[in-house]
Structure 1
Amino acid sequence: MEKYSELEELCKLGGNAIEQTFDRIRFNADLSFLGPQLPEYAFLLGLKNGFYAFAEALHVYTYLPSDRYNEQEVVTWNKASLWKRAYGLTEVKPFAFAEDIFGYQFCFDVEGVTRFDPETGELEPVCSTLDEWAGLMLTDPEAHLGYETAREWSQTKGSIRQGERLLPIYPFITSEGSADLTNLYSVDALKGMLSRADFARQIKSVPDGQPIEIVPLIPQNRNPS
């Protein structure tokens, strides 16, 4: 078996596996569309089937045929009907396998690993392989995951609940947006994706630099803790 040293190190630093079992045969059948990206991914989840790391800044999704993780089992999470359709995504790829503290999605795409921005609906290249991605997370978790923000939130407000992410009241791409704790709130990850999909649709046709009026949008189940 090929050795993926960066993935091994990332798993060592992560918390306990969310799911203790991993059905590799069923996994290979269900996710065969990932093609050459599948072996690395199977290796990762075979080591640890879903986990949080870096003060919950990184969340690697769990694979489980029957979902019981707030719709964040990886196959369920990638169903077009859940949040992708709200962004106009209809293809199997990008296929999200993890998220950072702000709900930005790390995805398998035709180019390799990409990062999906939920505020704009845009994808940006990250690296070619999953092992390379793990190396980036290990090298600079602040730049890639928002680690310091997650750590500060945990120290001042308590641990982030499973299935939740930190979202900005004023979006990051606006002049008022920032990762300061006063501009953040914790929310169910799915509700956060859907609320920002609405924002992404609104700004899609606005030219860069053109002033627009931003009305802060906070889903009703806001968790103020």
Structure 2
Amino acid sequence: MKGILFTGGELTDLVTFAQLPVYLQTFLREQNGVVAYFGGLHIRGCVAEPTWHSLDAAWHGEEAFWRTYDEVMESDIPFGQDCVGNQFLLRGDAVLWLDTETGELADLEVDFKHFLFGVEKFPLDALSMEPLRAFQQSGGVLRPGQLLSVYPPFCMATNDQQPSSTKAISAAERLAWLANFYRQIKDLPDGQSIRFTPDQN
């Protein structure tokens, strides 16, 4: 992997580690999670701290994705995320992609090994890194523990031609905002007009 900003150090959460499939255990033994591609990909590790890097917090904690998103199962392993907070999940041997704005779940039709292979070969496409690239080109830096906040949300069509804006915020703040946004829009029909307050983002 390129552009590594952070690695998770020592395996300290052996309870969570023991629940993982062998191939993910093998990866985490080599590096206990990583922030790579200058923030384009975060693979969580088996640690208690920092919380933003904890696989257990994302999987079993109070803000676990299955507690919020209707399509996510409690057994789905939220092993990673992209630069804006969309999630990569393991369901059996399949890698799924969770759109954290809309709650839509897509099967990427690859296993973990081939997911990593695709990311290595085509990181811009595999990780949808366009917002991060634009942010970097304007002088922005995404630090470990941060995600990009994007306005307007990707799933919204706006009446004006205002370009999207991005800023780096804490991962916890971004994921909480996304969960709240999803709860508010999940039962709305496509094309529903809504009034959006940007200062919440």
In structure 2, the residue matched to 1:76 is 57
- 1:208 is aligned, of 182, 185, 190, to 190
In structure 1, the residue matched to 2:27 is 44
CA distance in 2: counterparts of 1:18 and 1:161, whole angstroms: 13
Mapping of residues 73-112 of structure 1, within 5 Å = 73-84=54-65, 85-88=67-70, 91-110=73-92, 112=94
Q: Tell me which amino acid in the other structure corresponds to 2:23.
A: E
Paired residues of 1:165 and 1:187 also in contact (CA < 8 A): yes
In structure 1, the residue matched to 2:154 is 172
Q: What displacement does 1:32 show?
A: 4.6
Q: Does 1:18 align with 2:7?
A: yes
Note closer, same or farther for the CA distance 1:173–1:181 as it changes in structure 2 (3 Å cut).
same
Paired residues of 1:102 and 1:146 also in contact (CA < 8 A): no
In structure 2, the residue matched to 1:131 is 113
Number of positions where the alignment pairs a residue of Structure 1 with one of Structure 2: 198
Q: Tell me which amino acid in the other structure corresponds to 2:185.
A: I
Q: What displacement does 1:73 show?
A: 0.9
Deviations 1:79-107 (A, max 9, x none): 24124223357843221111111111101
Deviations 1:139-190 (A, max 9, x none): 321122233432442343342121110021211001139xx98521211112
Paired residues of 1:113 and 1:127 also in contact (CA < 8 A): yes
Secondary structure of the corresponding residue to residue 150 of structure 1? helix
CA distance in 1: counterparts of 2:97 and 2:82, whole angstroms: 10
CA distance in 1: counterparts of 2:72 and 2:123, whole angstroms: 30
Return the TM-score normalized by structure 1. Answer: 0.75
Secondary structure of the corresponding residue to residue 53 of structure 2? coil
CA distance in 2: counterparts of 1:158 and 1:128, whole angstroms: 32
In structure 2, the residue matched to 1:198 is 180
CA RMSD, Structure 1 to Structure 2 (Å): 2.7
Secondary structure of the corresponding residue to residue 39 of structure 2? coil
Q: Tell me which amino acid in the other structure corresponds to 2:119.
A: M
Return the TM-score normalized by structure 2. Answer: 0.83
- Structure 1 gap ranges (5+): 1-9, 220-225
Identity of aligned residues (%): 23
Paired residues of 1:83 and 1:190 also in contact (CA < 8 A): no
Q: Does 1:57 align with 2:40?
A: yes
In structure 2, the residue matched to 1:3 is none
